[in-house]
Structure 1
């Protein structure tokens, strides 16, 4: 399998390195030049067309739906790929955006799979992400060499659009988890209960989870170097709310969490890790 890869951010680079290590031929391009990158032996090119021509699949791992649309259509990647190429969006975007992109791709004789991933930098580096893919089952099966390289498990969750729907569901749950932690620690501070003590008690309760375990050190040391930036989770929460409204889903807690993350970003926490919502809430900087 020959793969073109667009997007060399904090997630894209380790995913590319693991894909190359699995024996897949990868050609990479980043819209913003990044000199001296270690991409594990992938071929780095300076022009988009060099990454998309004559590939079996094109992988997109970029910031949002606007970036995916720009690459495929404004920069005319779809016009440079050979017929029947697999276009695989692994970025987190809206369900509506996914369906629109897929329709545009299909009209040009190309195939489309939406395959966002669950996990942040650490599982991306370890090759233990989870893939949730929407599209034809035959296309999903064809992508197994890629999925095996980057993930511990890959789910085929239905037709195009269902991968995006599942990813937004998970990230909404993630947002509510750290929001709940932040609210409880804000309460704990007003009760003169130390953060490390609260975390110890939570660890020995039924509510403990891998998310809390993964963010524990950040919270206890109040150091929020971004693994998954708060601004990106805010974006995903907004997409989940928008899709929920489109299908008349009842999501009051998710809507409230989204508003909390909006306020945190406005207060200057956007570039910090998503767990910085704890610091934002505990600092009492939220606004009604």
Structure 2
């Protein structure tokens, strides 16, 4: 189709995922997994620090382990350095998670990890972190901010 030809010119890879609107829902699936990857990485780094390991060393091992995800490349160094200059704002991800939970509710599915993730993000935003990078969720997990 004409649309497929155009998309193939501007995208490295294209996927047909279904009918009108399914592409948006697939983007939400991607954002769900990506957001939970960030939160899991943050929790792992905080756990490493809590048990006496350096976050730098933990990240180095994680980057070369079965736990690896590309999220670690982009967000791991930011979390370790405490550099939360925004690449993607935390407040924007709140909107995504709200949409994800809304779609799940329409499908009569509970997403408990996403519900907890939203609570952590909302706590971060309530404490003034909304304009920072979404990797700033580590501040909530570290306990400098506590989710309600």
Same fold, TM exceeding 0.5?
yes
Structure 2, unmatched stretches of 5+, are none
Task: Check the 8 A contact 1:179/1:278 in 2, yes or no.
Answer: yes
CA distance in 2, matches of 1:273, 1:145: 35
- 1:162 aligns with 22
- 1:175 aligns with 35
CA distance in 2, matches of 1:224, 1:149: 34
TM-align CA RMSD: 1.6
Task: Check the 8 A contact 2:88/2:133 in 1, yes or no.
Answer: yes
**Mapping of residues 115-194 of structure 1, within 5 Å:** 141-144=1-4, 146-194=6-54
- 1:245 aligns with 105
**Mapping of residues 21-100 of structure 1, within 5 Å:** none
Task: Check the 8 A contact 1:182/1:278 in 2, yes or no.
Answer: yes
Structure 1 residues 286 and 193, CA gap change in structure 2 (3 angstroms): same
Larger radius of gyration: 1
Higher RCO, Cα 8 Å, sep 6+: 2
- What is the Cα deviation at residue 276 of structure 1? 1.2
- What is the Cα deviation at residue 148 of structure 1? 3.3
Aligned residues: 148
Structure 1 residues 156 and 196, CA gap change in structure 2 (3 angstroms): same
- What is the Cα deviation at residue 183 of structure 1? 1.7
- What is the Cα deviation at residue 216 of structure 1? 2.4
- Bigger helix share: 2
Task: Check the 8 A contact 1:185/1:282 in 2, yes or no.
Answer: no
For residues 195-228 of structure 1, the C-alpha deviation after alignment (integer angstroms, 9 at most, x for no partner) is 1011012122101011111222212221122111
Secondary structure in 1 matching 2:117: helix
Choose from 47, 54, 77 the match for 1:217: 77
- What is the Cα deviation at residue 251 of structure 1? 1.3
- 1:257 aligns with 117
Structure 1 residues 287 and 220, CA gap change in structure 2 (3 angstroms): closer
Task: Check the 8 A contact 1:224/1:273 in 2, yes or no.
Answer: yes
Secondary structure in 2 matching 1:250: coil
- What is the Cα deviation at residue 283 of structure 1? 4.5
Task: Check the 8 A contact 2:140/2:147 in 1, yes or no.
Answer: no
Structure 1 length-normalised TM: 0.48
CA distance in 1, matches of 2:6, 2:88: 22
- What is the Cα deviation at residue 146 of structure 1? 4.2
- What is the Cα deviation at residue 274 of structure 1? 1.1
- 2:91 aligns with 231
- Bigger strand share: 1
